[in-house]
Amino acid sequence: GAVVSQHPSWVICKSGTSVKIECRSLDFQATTMFWYRQFPKQSLMLMATSNEGSKATYEQGVEKDKFLINHASLTLSTLTVTSAHPEDSSFYICSARDLQGKETQYFGPGTRLLVL
């Protein structure tokens, strides 16, 4: 149980294009999902908290218009990197919080984005 999928796992795009990343909780409902960014050899940095049916809450320093988050259902959240630039290249990883038991966050496998 508690499986989170993420798609795509890899994406290479040209500068200026937009990229959409999907995060799905497969066997549980998640009213809250989280989006993280991780640079090489560093820890995870929380970008935003995605709430089903309401606007996402962004961390300080994260551009809302740059990183669009939509949490359309209890099992799906999407992150769209708009007008991507090379500095947006990173590892993006989502998590979903299982409200049962320990409120553990279960993570997706991550998406590696390379912007050329």
Partner 1 sequence: AQKITQTQPGMFVQEKEAVTLDCTYDTSDQSYGLFWYKQPSSGEMIFLIYQGSYDEQNATEGRYSLNFQKARKSANLVISASQLGDSAMYFCAMRARMDSSYKLIFGSGTRLLVRP
Which residues here bind partner 1, judged by CB under 8 A? 2, 32, 34, 38, 42-44, 46, 49, 57, 91, 93, 95, 97, 102-110, 112
Q: What are the backbone dihedrals phi and psi of residue 87, each rounded to the nearest 5 degrees, phi first?
A: -70, -10
51 CB-contact burial (10 Å; exposed 0-12 / middle 13-18 / buried 19+): middle
Residue number with CB closer to partner 1 (42 or 83): 42
Q: Please, what is the minimum distance in Å from the beta carbon of residue 112 to partner 1?
A: 7
Q: What angle do CA 67, 70, 75 make, to 5 degrees?
A: 130
Residue number with CB closer to partner 1 (71 or 97): 97
Q: Please, what is the minimum distance in Å from the beta carbon of residue 77 to partner 1?
A: 15
| Residue that has been written with the tokens 């796992």 in this structure | 9
Q: Please, what is the minimum distance in Å from the beta carbon of residue 16 to partner 1?
A: 26
